[in-house]
Structure 1
Amino acid sequence: MSEISMDRSYYPPLSKEIASWQHNYIPGPLTQDEFYQFFEDGFVVKHNLLKQDQLQSTIHGIERVVDELAQELYQAGKIQDLHENDGFYQRLTAIDAQFPGAAVLLHKRGVLPQEIASLWSNETLLSVAQQLLGPDIAGHPVWNLRSKVPNQEQVTVPWHQDTAYLNKECWNILQVTAWIPLLDANKENGCLQLLRGGHRPGLTCQHNCCTGGTWYVEVPVEEMEKTLNIPVNEQTVVTCGVPFGSVLFLNNLIPHKSMENYSKNIRWSLDLRWQKPNEPNGFYGLKDNILMTKSDDKNFKPDWNEWSKINRTKLEEASVRESIKNEIKELKEQQENDPFDTSISGPWMHNWSIVHHNRHTAKLTTNSTSWHKS
Structure 2
Amino acid sequence: MAEEKRYPGQSTEVFPEPFNKPLAVIPTGKPGQLAEEKIKQFFDEGFLVVEDFFTPEELQPCRDAIEKMVDVLADKLYKAGKVKNLYKDSGLFQRLTMLEKEFQGANILLFKHQKMPEEFRNLWCNERILNLIEQIIGPDISGHPVWNMRTKTPLSAATNIPWHQDSGYFSNESYDHMVPTAWIPFLDATEENGCMVMARYGHKKGKVADHTCCAANTWYITLEEEEMRKTLGVDLEKDIINCPVKYGGFVLFHNITPHRSLPNVSNDIRWSIDLRWQSPHENWGFYGIQEGVEMRSSKNPNVIQDWDKFLSVDRKEVWQEKFRKQAKQTTDPFDTTVTGPWIGQWKIVNQNQHTRAYERS
Whole-angstrom CA distance in 2 between matches of 1:192 and 1:243:
12
Q: Which letter maps to 2:43? A: F
> 1:111·1:309 contact (CA, 8 Å) conserved in 2?
no
Among 151, 166, 187, which residue is 1:183 paired with? 187
Q: Provide Cα deviations, 1:223-244, integer angstroms capped at 9, x if missing partner.
A: 11110122212x2111001110
1:109 and 1:311 in contact (8 A); partners too: no
Cα offset for 1:297? Answer: 2.4
Deviation at 1:54, TM superposition (A): 1.1
- Is the CA contact (8 Å cut-off) linking 1:78 and 1:99 kept in structure 2? yes
CA deviations over 1:59-92 (Å, ceiling 9, x no partner): 1011111111111111111111110111100000
Residue of structure 1 in register with 2:135 after alignment? 131
**In the alignment, which residue of structure 1 is the partner of 2:87?**
83
Partner of 1:120: 124
Give the Cα–Cα distance (whole angstroms) in 2 for the partners of residues 14 and 165 of structure 1: 17
What secondary structure, in the 3-state scheme, does the structure 2 residue paired with 1:64 have? Answer: helix
Determine the C-alpha separation between the residues in 1 that align with 2:266 and 2:330: 36
- TM-score, normalised on structure 1? 0.89
Partner of 1:361: 355
What is residue 24 of structure 1 aligned with on the other side? 25
Match of 2:286 among 272, 283, 286: 283
1:69 aligns with 2:69: no
- The residue that corresponds to 2:336 in the other structure is 342
Gaps of 5+ in 2: 1-13
- The match for 2:327 is 332
What is the DSSP-based 3-state SS (H/G/I as helix, E as strand, rest coil) of the residue aligned with 1:360?
helix
CA-to-aligned-CA distance 1:25-52 (integer Å, 9 cap, x gap) = 2334211111111111111111111111
Q: Measure, in 1, the Cα distance between the counterparts of 2:145 and 2:160.
A: 22
Match of 1:302 in 2: 305
Q: Structure 1 segments of 4 or more deviating over 6 A?
A: none
Rate the CA distance shift 1:312–1:247 in 2: closer, same or farther, 3 A.
Answer: same
TM-score (norm 2): 0.92
- 1:339-373 CA distance string (max 9 Å, x none): 111010100011101000000111125xxxxxxx5
Q: Distance in 2 between matches of 1:53 and 1:291?
A: 26
Shift of 1:309: 4.5
Distance 1:240 1:14 in 2: 26
> Could you give the per-residue CA deviations for residues 97-120 of structure 1, whole angstroms, max 9, x where no partner exists?
111000001101142111101111
1:1-374 aligned at under 5 Å gives the runs 15-19=16-20, 21-27=22-28, 28=30, 29-233=33-237, 235-321=238-324, 324=325, 331-333=326-328, 335-364=329-358
1:211-232 residue CA offsets vs partner (Å, 9 max, x unmatched): 0010000011111111012221
Q: CA RMSD in A?
A: 1.6
Q: Which amino acid aligns with 2:290?
A: K
Structure 1: runs of 5 or more not aligned: 1-12, 325-330, 366-372
Asked if the contact 1:110–1:313 (Cα under 8 Å) also holds between the matched residues in 2, the reply is: no
What code does the residue aligned with 1:332 have?
A: A
Once residues 78 and 85 of structure 2 are traced to their aligned partners in structure 1, the CA distance between those partners, rounded to angstroms, is 7
Counterpart code for 2:302: N
Q: Among the aligned pairs, what percent are the same residue?
A: 39
Contact 2:15 2:175 in 1 (8 A): no
